[in-house]
Amino acid sequence: MAVRRHVERIVSEPILTPSARISAAIEILDDILARRRPAADALKDWGLAHRFAGSGDRAAIASLVYDGLRRRASAAFVMGAETGRAVTIGMLRLQRGLAEPTIASLFDGARFAPEPLTDEERTRLKQGSLGNAPPEVAGDAPAFVLPSLEAAFGDALAEELRALGRRAPLDIRVNALKQTREAAAAALADLGAAPTPLSPLGLRVPTGEDGRGPALHVDPLFLEGGFEIQDEGSQLASLLAGAKAGETLVDLCAGGGGKALALASLTGNGARLIATDADPRRLAPIHERLRRSGAEVEVRTPRTGKARADVLADLDGTVDRVLIDAPCTGTGTWRRNPDAKWRLRPGSLANRVAEQAEVLDRAARLVRPGGTLVYVTCSVLPEENDAAVDGLLARSGGAIASVATDLSVVPGLSEKIRRTGRGVQMSPALTGTDGFYVATMTRTS
């Protein structure tokens, strides 16, 4: 326990004043807005140019920037401008709940502090309202996806958009190959770790008022493979995959291996589990994670270039269960990746839909007759979810059929989750998780 606290104290040591951090956030937001660049890139460049800022300062500045992006449209509407300064001021009121006098005290024009509030800014802080704002502004969402979001959420649209604009909790999945959830909770008791509301695999770690949590990636228990950082929704999707010991399982879009590790833990390393990904670069983190966790997973990394071959060709028609954690727009993760929604374009959605059709068709060739396909996205858009499943069913000519996803594996989930035409949809407002979609299919012939 002493080691963990010592690490947290070191990484949290403040150097900059709160006002100086706000100035930095304004500078970074201006960069993001002007150049339409990913927030992570802008934050990294700022950190390289300001090496005197401690890790605690950089984390606090990142929290301000991401909160600004969460409320980018609504903050700009209230303040009457879409600049880094206007978005930051509006965010401090709308997202962090600060009153005008408190905000004014941070904008005092002192050394490294932002310039004092203007009379117009003070007036807007006191009188500005979202009462007459368009739905996409009040809900901080790109206008072009609003019809899809309305189709997904119906009358709950406003509530779901508000939930997607809040900060995500900090969840971990306990590695059952190493220990029980109870033992992990005891080991992390000084962090306040408590069981996740729905997932029997998880613990939730409290975060500070600014959304920052402890440095879990340097925690001794993490380094020993005792847990992985994973949203509760992703844990639930792994459970709903229904993996069983004795099966041959393929994680077709494994990426960094989060769900592959979860499946190995759920089956007690009792399944033959193969993980691959079309992009070999995305697989890079899986090897260290496997070493740390003790999970037994066969990783098949495709070659690039003209010599590229299908690394799963020998498995066609033999696999018991295929997990398709498909590439998607990530609309269900806006809580933790708020800049992604502002970089989303109609062409991006079309590209993802095409990729989803490709991986679904590949999965259909892998599964044996009577075998199971589990299609997962972290999207809330029907085009990527039910419509993608409908597309596979139509292309299969009846060889693939939709079946109900078994919700009984997670007690209490059935009452919380939203059912769609082909699957089930998690969401921040209903399940308190990221927006994961899960659909189950079987090969009939």
CA–CA distance, 292 with 225 (Å, rounded to integer): 5
Q: Is 314 one of the annotated binding-site residues?
A: no
Q: What are the E-state strand segments in 261-300? A: 272-276, 298-300
Distance, C-alpha 82 to centroid of its chain: 26
- Tell whether 277 is in a known binding site: yes
Residue 443's SS3 state is strand
348-386 burial, b at 16+ Cβ within 10 Å, e below that, comes to ebeebbebbbebbebbbebbbeebbbbbbbbbbbbbbbb
Helices (H) and strands (E) in the chain — how many of each? 19, 13
Count of C-beta atoms within a 10 Å radius of residue 115? 12
328 is catalytic: no
Residues 186-192: contacts with CB within 8 Å, 24+ apart? 187/221, 187/226, 188/219, 188/221, 190/1, 190/4, 190/5, 191/4
Nearest to 164 by CA among 37, 398, 337, 287: 337
Catalytically annotated residue among 187, 349, 378, 426:
378
Are 113 and 17 in contact by the 8 Å Cβ rule? The answer is: yes
Cβ(412)–Cβ(433) below 8 Å: no
**Residues 212 and 205: beta-carbon distance below 8 Å:** no
Q: In this structure, what token pair is assigned to residue 419?
A: 């059912």
Say how many C-beta atoms besides its own lie within 10 A of residue 137's C-beta: 18
| 8 Å CB contact between 61 and 25 | yes
| Cα gap 168→185, rounded to integer Å | 20
Interatomic CA distance for residues 358 and 45, integer angstroms: 36
Structure tokens at 338: 């708020």
User: What is d(CA 166, CA 163) in angstroms, rounded to the nearest whole number?
Assistant: 5
Q: Considering only CA atoms, give the Rg of the chain.
A: 23
How many Å apart are CA 297 and CA 323, to the nearest integer?
A: 14
Residues placed in the known binding site for S-adenosyl-L-methionine: 277, 325
Residues placed in the known binding site: 277, 325
* Residues annotated as part of the active site: 378
